[in-house]
Amino acid sequence: MSEFSPLKYENNKLIMIDQRKLPLEEIWLSYDNVEDIADSIKTMVVRGAPAIGCAAAFGFFIGVRNFIKNKNGNLNSEIKKIVRMLGETRPTAVNLFGALRDMESVVISENRDLYLENLEKTALKIWMDDVKSCKQIGKNGIEVFPEGKLNVLTHCNAGALATGGYGTALGVIRALHENNRLNMVYADDTRPRQQGAKLTVWELTKDNIPVTLVPDTAAGLIMSKKMIDLVVTGADRIAQNGDSANKIGTYNIAIIAKRHNIPFYIAAPLTTYDPETLTGEGIPIEERDGDEVRKVGDTYTTVPSVKVFNPGFDVTPAELIKCIITEKGNIFPPYKENFKKIL
């Protein structure tokens, strides 16, 4: 399971586990056109910034391949259309745009088969590089953590499911576990979509990593009772100054951790760093459908007509982040300067 990936590439098709159905059903869906891949990102069959990047890379490749094989017309304008279609799916995660840029930068050779081969290789490389990065993040993370057997709180799912494989925050947790340094993972529910309860618990249980599920509302109590030693989460976009967007509720936890002097870490590949966004204020925050809050599953749990505010992400300011764990090392404040050194 630690070799688990939410994506497969088989018989020229992208195959992805339907993360909306976990943990009760394990269903793999097969994709052979870019429209459906864009839809799978938008509807969260696949989610997690690095995994979205991988899916978008394959979406680009499959879209171009179908165009070249089946249609006539202007390839450049088709590529623009594909990039726009994939780019409009989720606005916050920057890895999506990075992956599309990498795919676009593949030279369009006169030999279309060679071009397609290079696109396919690039998509596979984006995916494999992400897995490699996650494993290196795991190694780096354990070097920066406090001593001893640790109790760790994480939010949402920054696991194998959210990446090409292995995970970022859960990558660090896997590395702790492999080194016999993990006592317990506290996974919070992560309302409204419950990625903690649904995905993180499923992933860790499969790997026999000890996990306790807690409601998001229990973060303060858990920290005041000294039940955890540190917090680690992933990120969807890290601004130049270190401000980090991640799943809604991350900022809550970072504030609460600060009050209790509990270190708060971000674990993310460098593809999540966006030096062109200067601070968190510049990160677009996706607002999602109110029914995610009004309903659980197919059932309303509130007055169906009630107004809802449902932001998908929040921004944790750099000053609350003890360190950002990347595949190229552990970055400490001041983030702008220290990211510049590493890049």
Enzyme catalytic residues: 236
Q: Judged by CB under 8 A, does residue 120 bind its own copies?
A: no
At its nearest, how many Å lie between its own copies and the CB of residue 251? 4
Amino acid at the residue 221 = L
Residue 239 to residues 2, 45, 172, 246, 339: CA-CA distances in angstroms? 30, 26, 22, 12, 10
E strand intervals along 131-206: 150-154, 182-188
At its nearest, how many Å lie between its own copies and the CB of residue 223? 9
Instruction: Determine which helix (DSSP H) or strand (DSSP E) holds 175, and give its type and residue range.
Output: helix 169-178
Q: Please provide the distance, in angstroms rounded to a whole number, between the alpha carbons at the two ends of the chain.
A: 32
Nearer to its own copies, 23 or 333 (CB): 23
Binders of its own copies among 210-249, rule CB under 8 A? 210-222, 224, 227, 247-249
Q: Judged by CB under 8 A, does residue 208 bind its own copies?
A: no
What is the DSSP track for 121-152? HHHHHHHHHHHHHHHHHHHHHHHHSPSSSEEE
Stretch that binds its own copies, among 41-49, 121-129, 171-179, 194-202 (CB under 8 A): 194-202
CA nearest neighbour of 267 among 54, 90, 47, 49: 49
CA nearest neighbour of 160 among 146, 149, 175: 175
Nearer to its own copies, 100 or 214 (CB): 214
At its nearest, how many Å lie between its own copies and the CB of residue 222? 7
Stretch that binds its own copies, among 12-20, 69-77, 255-263, 328-336 (CB under 8 A): 255-263
In the list 20, 81, 181, 191, the residue contacting its own copies (rule: CB under 8 A) is 191
Nearer to its own copies, 79 or 239 (CB): 239
In the list 96, 142, 201, 283, the residue contacting its own copies (rule: CB under 8 A) is 201
d(CA 168, CA 137): 7
Binders of its own copies among 294-313, rule CB under 8 A? 294, 296-297, 299-303, 305-311
Largest pairwise CA distance in the chain = 65
Q: Judged by CB under 8 A, does residue 150 bind its own copies?
A: no
Q: Judged by CB under 8 A, does residue 198 bind its own copies?
A: yes
Q: Judged by CB under 8 A, does residue 252 bind its own copies?
A: yes
In the list 92, 151, 194, 240, the residue contacting its own copies (rule: CB under 8 A) is 194
Rounding to the nearest 10 degrees, give the CA dihedral for residues 51, 183, 247, 137: -40
322, 263 Cβ separation under 8 angstroms: yes
d(CA 295, CA 174): 33
CA nearest neighbour of 233 among 191, 282, 287, 173: 173
Q: Judged by CB under 8 A, does residue 24 bind its own copies?
A: yes
Stretch that binds its own copies, among 5-13, 51-59, 111-119, 187-195 (CB under 8 A): 187-195
Nearer to its own copies, 38 or 199 (CB): 199
At its nearest, how many Å lie between its own copies and the CB of residue 54? 25
Tokens 């807690």 appear where?
214
d(CA 237, CA 19): 21
Nearer to its own copies, 77 or 305 (CB): 305
Instruction: Determine which helix (DSSP H) or strand (DSSP E) holds 250, and give its type and residue range.
Output: helix 250-259
Nearer to its own copies, 1 or 296 (CB): 296
Give the interface with its own copies as residue ranges (CB under 8 A): 23-24, 186, 189-192, 194, 197-198, 201-202, 205, 210-222, 224, 227, 247-249, 251-252, 255-256, 259, 285, 290, 293-294, 296-297, 299-303, 305-311, 314-315
